[in-house]
């Protein structure tokens, strides 16, 4: 079963493209695909899965700030965590990764949007005057929403429909390296038994594993985006700094390209080596997402201006890419050509 996931990952990202594509990675060709919604009439391509954009989704009237996080709920609606009028610049953080712009106050605009999966219309908006530098967004199996703020150095859990967090981890505006602090936490992955993983990525470069009762279970090296393949007891970590994707659940001194067992099924398996996944052509991997429908792993490593997060719809038919450079959200449909 593990092999099928790895083969799917390699097939999707590194498969030989059809004749009208010019490079080796489908993600390197996304801008080309976006501009070429229809194939030339004289070209025949069959049984080839690719991604084509929905050009007018979510519509030009919707303006984002830097789009930091994206995920989908069970209904397929799209949740967006963006920075509104705030931007992460060279002046945002100083020595010791301390946020330098507290005097600006929290972001006044609504940082959280829920978009209709079909039309892209805003169904819900909230999150004003709460966050300073939004980053990660995860919707778990119970539709709790998990958020990270790299300026606050905190992780938040919001129950479905709630406007206030049920709990907050980390010390406000206080970066640190011990068990009670984070330093620019980037992402969260949640298992069905309530165990969750925090990528404490930019300055600590570690993944922390917590029990449902918010007890720290273990910690390891690595970062920055996470996706959980619970059926195979694997956590996929996108490591931008080292240009690799590591499938791992060991959380024990994880190297940039190593794969270990997680211990979700059996704690004694934690740390057992499995395999590594990396390729020079991947360069920086900005985000990863898993589609259990087709047993596919998606990874975005280029082809966009500044990709920042990635999500797959519950039915596996749509992929969403968040960008912080042009401040936009892409909806891509998976089709057979």
Question: pLDDT for 32-48, tens place per residue?
Answer: 433 333 333 444 434 45
Which tokens hold the place of 85? 């009028």
Asked if residue 127 has pLDDT above 50, the reply is yes
DSSP string, 228-278: EEGGGTEEEEEETTTTEEEE----SS--TT--B---SS-GGGTT-B-----
| CATH 2.60.120.260 describes domain 57-332 | no
- Per-residue pLDDT, averaged over 276-305, amounts to 76
* Mode of pairing for the β-strands spanning 196-200 and 206-210: antiparallel
**Tens digits of residue pLDDT in 167-220:** 999 999 999 999 899 999 999 999 999 999 898 878 887 888 888 876 655 555
Residue boundaries of the structural domains of the chain: 57-332
Q: Distance (Å, rounded) from C-alpha 122 to C-alpha 67? A: 15
Q: What is the pLDDT of residue 7?
A: 30
Which of 216, 215, 221 is closest to 258 using CA atoms? 221
pLDDT tens for residues 74-113? 999 999 999 999 999 999 999 999 999 999 999 999 999 9
Answer whether 108's CB lies under 8 Å from 141's CB: no
- The band of 325, judged by pLDDT with boundaries at 50, 70 and 90, is confident
Quick one: pLDDT at residue 229? Answer: 81
Mean pLDDT of 59-80: 96
Closest-CA residue to 308 (of 118, 91, 107, 148): 148
Per-residue confidence (pLDDT) for residue 83, from 0 to 100: 98
Is residue 244 scored above 50 in pLDDT? no
Contacts (Cβ under 8 Å, ≥6 apart) of 189:
138, 196, 197, 199, 226, 227, 228, 235
pLDDT for 204-216, tens place per residue?
878 888 888 766 5
Rounded to the nearest integer, the mean pLDDT of the chain is 77
Which burial class, exposed, middle or buried, applies to 132 when counting CB atoms under 10 A from its CB (0-12, 13-18, 19+)?
Answer: buried
266-284 burial, b at 16+ Cβ within 10 Å, e below that, comes to: eeebbbeebebbbbeebeb
């Amino acid at each position: 079963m593990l092999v099928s996931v790895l083969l799917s990952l390699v097939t999707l990202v590194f498969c030989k493209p059809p004749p009208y594509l010019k490079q080796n990675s489908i993600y390197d060709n996304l801008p080309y695909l976006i501009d070429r919604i229809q194939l030339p009439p004289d070209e025949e391509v069959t049984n080839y899965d690719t991604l084509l954009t929905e050009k007018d989704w979510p519509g030009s009237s919707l303006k984002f700030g830097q789009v930091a996080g994206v995920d989908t709920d069970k209904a397929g609606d799209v949740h967006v965590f963006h920075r509104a009028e705030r931007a992460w610049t060279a002046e945002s953080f100083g020595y010791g990764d301390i946020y330098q712009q507290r005097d600006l106050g929290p972001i006044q605009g609504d940082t959280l949007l829920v978009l209709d999966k079909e039309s892209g219309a805003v169904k819900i908006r909230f999150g004003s005057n709460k966050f300073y530098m939004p980053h990660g967004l995860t919707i778990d199996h119970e539709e709790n929403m998990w958020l990270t703020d790299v300026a606050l150095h905190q992780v938040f859990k919001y129950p479905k429909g709630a406007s206030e967090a049920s709990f907050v981890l980390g010390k406000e505006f206080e970066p640190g390296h011990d068990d009670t602090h984070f330093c620019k936490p980037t992402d969260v992955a949640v298992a069905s038994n309530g165990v969750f993983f925090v990528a404490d990525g930019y300055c600590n470069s570690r993944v922390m594993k917590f029990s449902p009762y918010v007890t720290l279970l273990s910690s390891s090296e690595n970062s920055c985006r996470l996706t959980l393949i619970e059926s195979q007891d694997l956590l996929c970590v996108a490591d931008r700094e080292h240009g690799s994707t590591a499938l791992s659940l060991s959380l024990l001194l994880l190297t940039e390209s190593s794969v270990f067992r997680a211990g979700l099924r059996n704690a004694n398996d934690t740390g057992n080596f499995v395999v590594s996944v990396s390729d020079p052509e991947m360069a920086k991997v900005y985000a990863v997402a898993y589609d259990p429908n087709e047993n596919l792993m998606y990874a975005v490593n280029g082809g966009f201006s500044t990709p920042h997060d990635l999500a797959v719809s519950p039915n596996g038919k749509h992929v969403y890419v968040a960008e912080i450079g042009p401040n936009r959200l892409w909806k891509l449909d998976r089709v057979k050509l």
